[in-house]
Amino acid sequence: MDEQALILDAQNGDLDAFNTLILHYQDSVFNTALRILGDDDLAADATQDAFISAFKSINSFRGGSFKAWLMRTVTNACYDELRRQKRRPTTPLEPDTDDGEEMDSPRWLADPSMTPDQKAEADELEHAIQHCLNNLPVEFKTVVVMADLQGMDYTEVAVAARVPLGTIKSRLARARLRLRECLQGFEELLPSVFRLEEESTA
């Protein structure tokens, strides 16, 4: 994929070229939104909004990392969504079990590649991490998601978050420490993961 050529075409109004870029980045953008917002549907909406906004303002892209530029757009869409939620708080609807209790997460049922135990464990891990991410301030969450989940370097994160490099370093360090403290509460729940980590650091 010739990214620069596609960007140029998109800047000239070629929607097909931009759609090719979307196909390439949609998983990354969706996952960023998902980890910032912690909800599939909201993340999907934010992703769609981000791509629409990105196409409309593609002429403001002046080179550099396109991924960082896209991430800035999606984080803006997430901030908008979070502001909307603050104004109109809603209660998420989880499907109920037969006993009438809320099902923790129905998503693992759709994943055919793991055994039920593995699915449950992975789901619990994901839930624990997402829970800890949700407890972070949104500025910390954005930085840690881009650096550790998306594997972006500090410069790209600084461009995407529009803050100086020093602020990125500071936020990332504090976010990691807070996450570690939060995840210690799930140590019993996730012993294998922590054991592996202890072995690797020993």
Partner 1 sequence: MKQRDLELLSSYLDGQLSPSDTSRLESRLLIEPELRSVLSDLRSARSMLRQLPMRKAPRNFRLTPKMVGKNPPLPRVYPAFRLTSVLATVMLFLTMGLNLVRPTLATASPGFGMGGGGAPDTFAAEAAPTEAPAAALEAPAATEAPAEESSIASAPMATETISGQEDSARIVDTPVAKEGETQNAIGGGVEQEPPQAPASDTPLVPAVWQWSLAGIALLSGLVMLFMRQISVNYWRNRK
Residues found near partner 1 in the complex (CB under 8 A): 13, 15-16, 18-19, 22-23, 26-31, 34-35, 40, 44, 47-48, 51-52, 55-56, 122, 125-126, 129, 144, 147-149, 153-154, 169-170, 172-174, 176-177, 179-181, 183, 193-194, 197, 200-201
Q: Which of 25, 28, 36, 34 is nearest to 143 (CA)?
A: 36
Q: Toward partner 1, which CB reaches closer, 5 or 165?
A: 165
What gap in Å lies between CA 123 and CA 104, rounded to an integer?
Answer: 9
CB of 39 to partner 1, least distance (A): 12
Nearer to partner 1, 97 or 195 (CB): 195
CA distance 118 to 37: 25
Is 73 within 8 Å of 84 (Cβ atoms)?
no
Contact present, 169 and 154 (Cβ < 8 Å): yes
Neighbouring CB atoms inside 10 A of 104's CB total 13
Q: Which is nearer to partner 1, 89 or 126 (CB)?
A: 126
Cβ at position 79, least distance to partner 1 in Å: 19
Nearer to partner 1, 97 or 137 (CB): 137
Helices (H), 62-153: 66-87, 116-134, 138-144
Closest distance between partner 1 and the C-beta of residue 4, in Å?
Answer: 20
The CB-of-85 to partner 1 minimum distance in angstroms stands at 20
Dihedral of CA atoms 133, 135, 138, 140 in degrees, nearest 10, equals -60
Q: How far is the CB of 195 from partner 1 (least distance, A)?
A: 11
Q: What is the CA radius of gyration of the chain?
A: 19
Kindly tell me which of 72 and 158 has the beta carbon lying closer to partner 1. Answer: 158
Q: How far apart are CA 49 and CA 30, in angstroms?
A: 11
Name which of 138 and 149 has its Cβ closer to partner 1. Answer: 149
Tell the smallest beta-carbon distance from residue 46 to partner 1 (Å).
11
